[in-house]
Amino acid sequence: MSDFLQLVVSGTAVGAIYALAALGFTLLWQASGTINFAQGEFVMVPAFITLLCLGWGMPLPLAFAVTCLVAMALLGVAFKNAVVDPLRRHGVIPLVIATLGLSIGLKNLVKAGYSAGPQPFPNVFPDTLFTLGPLRLSAYDLGALLLAGVMVFGVQAFLNRTVTGRAMQAVAQNTEAATVLGINVKRMVLYVFLINALLASVTALLVTPTYLAKFDMGDAIGLKAFYAAIIGGFNQTRGALLGGVLVGVLENLTGAYVSPAYKEGVALMLFLVVILFKPEGLLGKAEERKV
């Protein structure tokens, strides 16, 4: 029983990290109709920017701050202006293909330009273990859970409680009506891209100590982010959190009780079950189709 609890707790911590990446993914989809197949690489790139900064002798907090800024410039502003904006008028498929191309390009850029092997990454949390009854919790699990939780609820509070956040939601729901109401749609969409870059940077900080920094680390994270987003509900911000945690916990349990070889397949099975019975996601609302 205590094993079970242990697996649930550490699964929740991993799941909270998936939720972060999933949240950015959901926001991008809502605000700009972008299905970002390079979302995993958007986590991988900040990890390597941080490594570069550390290599130049910066302390970790400064390196992370620089990473956030660079990520917001490259994965936020540049990605939006150079890739998404020119492609939106062509419809969804060319944009999806472009992000696939971007994913291949970024992965191999890091492979060819930095290193093909896995790189160690400093842990932001100390190595302490806490004992709580039968459970042993590492500072890493607790810290990841806490930081990811704060980020997710922070973004949600921002979206629901502030004028800017509400304006962003209005843009996501109905762009034309938002324009008529005098909302600066372009700026709101830009904010979403910036938030996504920031979320990806935090995800990188949390996930890389265990995954190690490697050019293809984004494959697994990106995949989990997609599934977490859809399982929870593609049009619900809270859904990303639920989906992420579900995937994290079930993966851990499957790895321990069924077969570690198929751990990676859990998210897919859960996804297939969800779209079979509740295609709008566990927390999602059904969307009407516009004619």
Binding site for other proteins (CB under 8 A): 35, 83, 86-87, 90, 92-98, 100-109, 111-112, 116, 219, 223, 226-227, 230, 261-262, 264-265, 267-268, 271-272, 275-276, 279, 289, 291
Is 48:110 a contact under the CB 8 Å cutoff?
yes
In the complex, what is the shortest distance from the CB of residue 193 to other proteins, in angstroms, rounded to a whole number?
Answer: 16
Is 40:219 a contact under the CB 8 Å cutoff?
yes
SS3 119: strand
In the complex, what is the shortest distance from the CB of residue 224 to other proteins, in angstroms, rounded to a whole number?
Answer: 10
Helix (H) or strand (E) holding 135: strand 135-138
* Cα 231-222-42 angle, rounded to 5 deg: 130
Which residue, 165 or 218, is less far from other proteins as judged by CB? 218
Which residue, 100 or 157, is less far from other proteins as judged by CB? 100
Which residue, 39 or 138, is less far from other proteins as judged by CB? 39
In the complex, what is the shortest distance from the CB of residue 258 to other proteins, in angstroms, rounded to a whole number?
Answer: 12
Helix (H) or strand (E) holding 130: strand 129-132
Output the DSSP codes for 70-108.
HHIIIIIIIIIIIIIHHHGGG-HHHHHHHHHHHHHHHHH
In the complex, what is the shortest distance from the CB of residue 39 to other proteins, in angstroms, rounded to a whole number?
Answer: 12
Which residue, 165 or 222, is less far from other proteins as judged by CB? 222
In the complex, what is the shortest distance from the CB of residue 277 to other proteins, in angstroms, rounded to a whole number?
Answer: 9
Is 42:59 a contact under the CB 8 Å cutoff?
no
Which residue, 140 or 271, is less far from other proteins as judged by CB? 271
